[in-house]
Each structure stands twice: as structure tokens, then as C-alpha cells.
Amino acid sequence: MAKPAPQRRYWLFKSEPEVYSFSDLLAERGRRTSWNGVRNYQARNLLRDEIAVGDGVLFYHSSTDPLAVVGTCRVVRAGYPDETAFDRGSPYYDEGSDRAAPRWFTVDIEAVCAFPEPVTRARMQAEPALAGMMLLRRGSRLSVQPVTAAEWRAVLRLAGVREEDA
């Protein structure tokens, strides 16, 4: 008997567009990138242990105007050691991480859907279905966050995007 397929899960990745925008992702070969440089243990644990190939990712622009979810991605490679932590020339270098015992992890994502219009934070705050969303909690700083299936669907609805296109 075949194993049941694991439930697809959903996440939200934050990025300052000045540093790395959704447009930058769309311009990558294969619209793919390694989500490296995350240096927070809680986020690291999600990247290393929880995020699976096929999971959906909301791409959020932080510290900008307007604050918004601008598109979706899918995970194309699950957690593996973040090479930038070993690279002395990288701004993300961490001498406490080595290949024998990597401290930081990354996943690869691929852009799936650029929203026709960004779903702004203001719009999300006005949406009852998103009342409990981690992103909207005061002081929420985690750059890799879990998103519920209901929140995922609500954001797609606000974006005017069909689930099968995201």
C-alpha cells in the first residue's frame, strides 16, 4: 500500500526588496534561488527540519512601501547547509559554523506566481480571515514563518489568484 502523500504546508518568507526582491527572484536562472543568510535559530529550525519540497511560500516585502505579499514560490530543495556561513567573504559568514557541524541551513525556492497586484499589509490587516496571522502580530520578527492553509487561501483570494496557479 502506498504511503499517503504528506500534507503540503505553507510558509512566509520575508525579504527587504532593497536587499532581495521578488523581481530579483524572477530574474534568476530558473526563477530559483537558495534562501540563504538566515541567522536566527527559530527560522533555522524550520528551514532544517520542517520545510519540505513542494511546500508553498508567500514572498513578503518588508521594510518598504508598500509592505506586501507580492507572489508565491514553491520549495524545490529541502534543508541543507548554508554555504555562505563558511565563506569568509560573505556578509553571512559565521566562524562558529563548519562543514562537520553546520549551524545554518537554507532551502531552494522557485517563483511560481507573481501577484497581479501586491496584497498589502493594510489589506491583510482588514481581512478577518487573517486576524491570527503571525505576520500581523505586533513585534513579529521571524523571517521564516508558518502559514496555515486557511491563511494561504485567504491571501490568494485577496490577490485574485486561483489556488491551482499558486
Partner DNA sequence: GCCAACGTTGGC
Q: Which is nearer to DNA, 137 or 162 (CB)?
A: 137
CB 143 within 8 A of CB 57: no
Whether the ω angle into residue 66 lies within 30 degrees of 0, i.e. cis, is: yes
Q: Which is nearer to DNA, 41 or 163 (CB)?
A: 41
Among 53, 125, 149, 162, binds DNA (CB under 7 A): 125
List CB contacts of 46: < 8 A, sequence separation 6 or more.
11, 144, 146
Among 41, 53, 160, 165, binds DNA (CB under 7 A): 41
Residue 67 engages DNA in binding (rule: CB under 7 A): yes
The DSSP call for residue 148 is -
Q: Which is nearer to DNA, 14 or 48 (CB)?
A: 14
- Min separation Cβ 137 and DNA, Å: 7
Size of the site for DNA (CB under 7 A): 17
List CB contacts of 70: < 8 A, sequence separation 6 or more.
21, 22, 59, 60, 61, 114, 115, 118, 119
- Min separation Cβ 130 and DNA, Å: 13
Phi then psi dihedrals of residue 47, to 5 deg:
-60, -40
Residue 16 engages DNA in binding (rule: CB under 7 A): yes
Strands 32-34 and 56-61: unpaired
Residues that bind DNA (CB under 7 A): 14, 16, 40-42, 62-63, 67, 121, 125, 137-143
